[in-house]
């Protein structure tokens, strides 16, 4: 009842709750149905309504998809500011909103990572993700720690 009265999201919105993310297809009495991909209609997740009381809801609206890609790093390059500026410039044309585009270093699980966060359209999120990875590897490739 709380979800139906407060309406933190509507059918058609893209939301993130905990680790689950997708387009809201159905809001039911016991669960919410999330579509994880537009190409596979059978790829959906049922999220129990009790989870919405336990975790915060990020409503991405009807058109935007938030993504965060972590690249494990071996070191921070001396020319990191120049490389980050080049990467931001390359990605500005891809991201749906360049104000929500971020490139930074962080420590996650005691490991150094390069983080790229951006918004893209929900429909073309896979193509944009591939281009973001390609642009990042082109600029930071020697400093990234890929498994051998």
pLDDT in tens, the chain (148 residues): 666 666 778 888 888 888 888 888 888 888 888 887 655 656 788 888 888 888 888 777 777 777 889 999 999 989 989 999 999 888 887 766 677 788 999 998 888 999 998 888 777 778 888 999 999 999 999 999 876 5
Whether the predicted model's global pTM rises above the 0.85 cut: no
Cα 51 versus chain centre, distance: 20
pLDDT of residue 124: 78
Report angle CA 144, 17, 35 to the nearest 5 degrees.
90
pLDDT of residue 125: 78
3-class secondary-structure state, position 98 = helix
The secondary structure element, H or E, covering residue 75 is: none
């Amino acid at each position: 009842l709380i979800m139906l009265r407060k309406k933190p999201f509507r059918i058609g919105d893209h939301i993130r709750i905990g680790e689950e993310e997708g387009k809201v297809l159905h809001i039911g009495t016991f669960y919410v149905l999330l579509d994880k991909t537009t190409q596979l209609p059978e790829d959906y997740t049922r999220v129990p309504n009790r989870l919405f009381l336990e975790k915060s809801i990020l409503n991405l609206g009807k058109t935007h998809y938030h993504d965060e890609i972590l690249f494990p790093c071996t070191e921070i390059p001396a020319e990191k500011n120049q490389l980050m500026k080049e990467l931001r410039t390359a990605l500005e044309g891809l991201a749906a909103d360049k104000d929500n585009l971020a490139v930074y270093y962080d420590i996650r699980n005691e490991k150094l990572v390069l983080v790229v966060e951006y918004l893209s359209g929900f429909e073309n999120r896979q193509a944009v993700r591939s281009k973001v990875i390609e642009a990042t590897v082109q600029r930071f490739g020697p400093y990234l720690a890929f498994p051998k």
